[in-house]
Amino acid sequence: MTSSGTAPTTDATAPSLNRRLIVIAGILLLAAVTIWKAADIARSTAVDGARETGRERLALYDSTLQAALERYRYLPFVVTRNNGVNELVSRGGEAGDVNLYLEQINAQAGADALYVLDANGETLAASNWRSDVSFVGHNYSFRPYFRDAMEGKAGSFFAIGATTGEPGYFLSWPIVGTEALGQADKILGVAVVKVDLNPLQQDWRDGGETVFVSDSNGVVFLSSRADWKYRTLGALTPETVERIRRGRQYRGIKLQPLELMPVTASSAAAERPGDGGSQGQLRRFGGTDYLLQSRNIENLGGRLHYLSPLANVTARVSSVIAIMAISWILLFFAILFLRERRLKAASARRAREAMAIEAVNRKLQAEIEERRRAEGELRETQNELVQAGKLAALGQMSAAIAHELNQPLAAIQTFLAGSRIFLKRGDSGQVEENLTTLSRLADRMGAITGQLKTFARKSEGKLAPVVLQDAVADALALLDPQIRLDAVEIVTDLPSTPVTVRADEVRVGQVLVNFVRNAIDAMEESDKRLVTIALYVTEQTAVLSIDDVGHGISDENLAKLFDPFFTTKEVGEGIGLGLSISYGIITDLGGSLQAENNPAGGARFTIRLPVLEQAETALSGFAPAGTGT
C-alpha cells in the first residue's frame, strides 16, 4: 500500500526536476555566451583605442622629428650661395675666410658642424676648424650623402662620425658652379650640416613612451630606450652588412637583432589582417605584449615606430568579465529572490485563509523574535568584519614585519656564536656584554610582537577614555616596519595637552592604521613620500587629519568612497571594506569622517570626535556590540 501510494508523487516530481535542470543549464549557457561576447567586444574596443592613440602619437613624434631637421635643412643651401665658398671649391686657395664664415653661421644656427667638401670629398673648410677633431683635411667621399649631392640631389644620412666618433644626422646640398666662375652648372663640391639628434632623443625618453626610428636598412638609430639603439628589426643580409661597412655608418658597433617577437596565435585575435603600418602588429618583448605601429618618415628614408603596451587591454577585459559575471550572479539571485517571494506570498495567503487570529499573532511574535536574533547576528557579523579587516591589515604588513624581525634574529645568531667562542676562551666579561646585547634585541622583538598582539586582539565593545596622541603613537609604532621599508616620512603635529575622547581603543587604532596604510599605498609611485598627521581641538571637537602627497581622489570616486566593496586598488589588493568599516566605527562613536583632496596635492582624511565631556552626551544612547540594548 505504501509503495503504490508514493509512486505517483515520484513520477510527478521527476519531470519538474528535469525542467528546472534544463532552465538552469540554459541560463548558464546564455551567461557564458554573453560574458564571452562582452569580453571580445571589450578587447576589440580597447585595441582599437590603442590603435587610434598610436596613430596620433606617431603623427606627433613625426612632426617633432621633422621640426628638428627642418631647423637645419636650409643651411647647406645657404652655404652654397656664398661667393667665398664658390671661389674656394672652384679655384682653391686659402680657406681662412670661409672657416670664419662657417663658424659664425653655425654659431647662430646651433648645428653640430657645418663644412664644405670639394668634388673629391676632401674637406676644405669647417665650422669646427679650431677644434682638435676638426673636419678640415678629412675625406668623406665614402659617405652616401656626398655621393647623392654629387649627383645633384639633396642628401641625408645618419651615421657615427668618422672623425669625432659622435653620432649625427647629415644633410647635404650640391655646390653648383656659375657663369662668373666659368663653370656653369658644374657640381664643384658639397655643403654639409651635421645635426645632433640627442636632445630630441632625450625628450622622447623623458616622455616615458616607447618610440624609435629605423633607417632604410632596418637599423634603429634613434630610440626612447637607450638599450634599443643600434639594434636591428630583423636579421641583416650579407649585402646590407657590406653596404653599411662601406659607408662606415655604424663603425665599431655590433648590430644585434631586437627581439620583437610576434605574439602567439591565442593573442593574435586583436591583429587585423593586412596590418603592417599605422594599423599595427602585435609583438612581444620581454614577456610583455605591445601594439607596434609604424609610418614612413618623409625626406628621411626611414620609418618611425611606436609601441603601445597592451596591459590595459587585458585589465579592461578582466574588468568586463568580472562585471558581467557579477551581473549574472546578481540576476540569478534576484530571480531566486522573486521566486522565493512569490512562494512566500502564496504560503501567507493560504495561511491567512486557514488560520485564526490567534495563529497569526503567534506568527507575528515569532517574526519579532527572529528579527531580534537577526539583529544580534548582524552586530556579530559587523564585529567579525572589523576583526577580519585587522587581520587582513596584519597580513599585508607581514612582509615588512618579517623584515623587521629578521634583523634582530640574525644579530642574535651572531652574538650566540660569538658567546660560545668567548666561553671557550674563558672571557666571561665579553660573554656578559653579549648577553646584555641579546637582552636588548629580545626586548626589541618583544615590543614588535606586543604591538601586533595588541592590534590583533578582538574588541570587547566597551567604551573608555582614549588619548588620541597615544592612539596615533601606537598606530605608527605598529606600522613602523612598513614605514621604514617603503621610505615614508611621517610628520606629526600633535598638541602637548592630551586630547581625550570616549571610544573603543581597539577600533580607533584600526581606523588610524587603515588611513595611514592607505596613505602609504597612495604614494607607491610618488618620488616624495610624506604623511602628515595633525590634531587639534575646536569647539569641543577633536579634529584629526591624515594627509598624503599621492595622486589624490577623483571627483567621481569621492562620492562613493565609503560605499562597501568600492575600491580603486588593483584586483587582489583590496575588497573595498576598509573605509566603509572605518566610517561605521567613527559614526557609531558619535563622530564624522570626511575625505577630500589636499590643495597642495594628495588626499586628506579628517576624523571629528567629541572630546570626553561632549562624547558622554553624544554616546548616551549608543550601545556597543556585545553590551546589550
Nearest of 282, 316, 584, 336 to residue 459 by alpha carbon: 584
Neighbouring residues of 103: CB distance < 8 A, sequence distance ≥ 6 = 127, 128, 129, 130
pLDDT (mean) for 599-619: 77
pLDDT in tens, 256-284: 888 878 876 444 444 444 444 556 788 88
Nearest of 570, 572, 576, 592 to residue 524 by alpha carbon: 570
Residue 222's pLDDT is 83
Residue 423's pLDDT is 82
Burial class (CB in 10 A: 0-12, 13-18, 19+), 303: middle
Looking at the chain, the number of H-run helices and the number of E-run strands are 16, 20
pLDDT (mean) for 485-497: 92
Residue 110 has pLDDT above 50, yes or no: yes
Residue 1's pLDDT is 44
Q: Hey, CA dihedral for 593, 594, 595, 599, is it positive or negative?
A: negative
* Percentage of residues of the chain with pLDDT beyond 90: 18
Residue 498's pLDDT is 94
What is the chain's mean pLDDT, rounded? 79
Residue 588 has pLDDT above 50, yes or no: yes
Residue 624 has pLDDT above 50, yes or no: no
Rounded to whole angstroms, the Cα distance separating 591 from 332 reads 39
Rounded to whole angstroms, the Cα distance separating 280 from 306 reads 9
CA 192, 198, 201: angle at the middle one, nearest 5? 125
| H helix or E strand, kind and range, residue 314 | helix 311-354
C-alpha cell at 376: 544580534
CATH superfamily name and code, 462-629: Histidine kinase-like ATPase, C-terminal domain (3.30.565.10)
Neighbouring residues of 626: CB distance < 8 A, sequence distance ≥ 6 = 379, 383, 460, 461
Nearest of 72, 65, 62, 172 to residue 112 by alpha carbon: 72
Rounded to whole angstroms, the Cα distance separating 285 from 223 reads 15
Residue 40 has pLDDT above 50, yes or no: yes
pLDDT (mean) for 120-132: 92
Contact 305, 293 (CB under 8 A): yes
Contact 99, 70 (CB under 8 A): no
Neighbouring residues of 535: CB distance < 8 A, sequence distance ≥ 6 = 468, 469, 472, 493, 494, 495, 499, 542, 543, 544, 545
- Give the highest mean pLDDT range of 239-253, 291-305, 485-499: 485-499
Work out whether strand 530-538 and strand 489-493 pair parallel, antiparallel, or are unpaired: parallel
DSSP letter, residue 228: G
pLDDT (mean) for 90-104: 87
How many residues in total does the chain contain?
629
pLDDT in tens, 424-470: 887 778 777 768 777 765 765 665 665 555 555 555 567 899 999 99
Contact 134, 100 (CB under 8 A): no
Distance between terminal CA atoms of the chain?
57
Q: Which of 294-298, 399-403, 597-601, 608-612 has the lowest mean pLDDT?
A: 399-403
Residue 149 has pLDDT above 80, yes or no: yes
Rounded to whole angstroms, the Cα distance separating 399 from 59 reads 46
Contact 192, 139 (CB under 8 A): no
Residue 627 has pLDDT above 50, yes or no: no
- Assess whether the region 200-237+249-313 and the region 462-629 belong to the same CATH fold: no
Its pTM stands at 0.46
Report the phi/psi class of residue 280: left, alpha or beta, with left for phi > 0 and alpha for psi in -120 to 50: left
Contact 564, 580 (CB under 8 A): yes
Residue 465's pLDDT is 94
* Annotated domain spans of the chain: 74-196, 200-237+249-313, 397-457, 462-629
Which residue did the predictor score with more confidence, 614 or 25?
A: 25
Helix (H, G, I), strand (E, B) or coil at 547: strand
Contact 46, 316 (CB under 8 A): yes
Rounded to whole angstroms, the Cα distance separating 11 from 17 reads 10
Fold of 200-237+249-313: Beta-Lactamase (3.30.450)
Residue 562 has pLDDT above 80, yes or no: no
pLDDT (mean) for 574-600: 80
Question: String of b and e for 515-534 (b: at least 16 CB within 10 Å)?
Answer: bbbbbbbbbeeeeebbbbbb
Nearest of 562, 534, 549, 547 to residue 604 by alpha carbon: 547
Residue 245 has pLDDT above 90, yes or no: no
Residue 569's pLDDT is 62
Give me the architecture of the 74-196 domain, per CATH: 2-Layer Sandwich (3.30)
Instruction: Give residue 3's pLDDT band: very low, low, confident or very high (50, 70, 90).
Output: very low
pLDDT in tens, 8-19: 545 556 777 788
Residue 513 has pLDDT above 70, yes or no: yes
Q: Which of 333-342, 435-444, 512-521, 616-625 has the lowest mean pLDDT?
A: 616-625
Nearest of 498, 592, 597 to residue 555 by alpha carbon: 597
Contact 475, 551 (CB under 8 A): no
DSSP letter, residue 553: -
Long-range CB pairs of 53-61 (<8 Å, 24+ gap) are 53/308, 54/278, 54/280, 54/291, 54/293, 54/306, 54/308, 55/278, 55/293, 57/209, 57/211, 57/306, 58/278, 58/293, 58/294, 58/295, 58/304, 58/306, 59/295, 61/204, 61/211, 61/304, 61/306
C-alpha cell at 401: 614585519
Rounded to whole angstroms, the Cα distance separating 501 from 498 reads 10
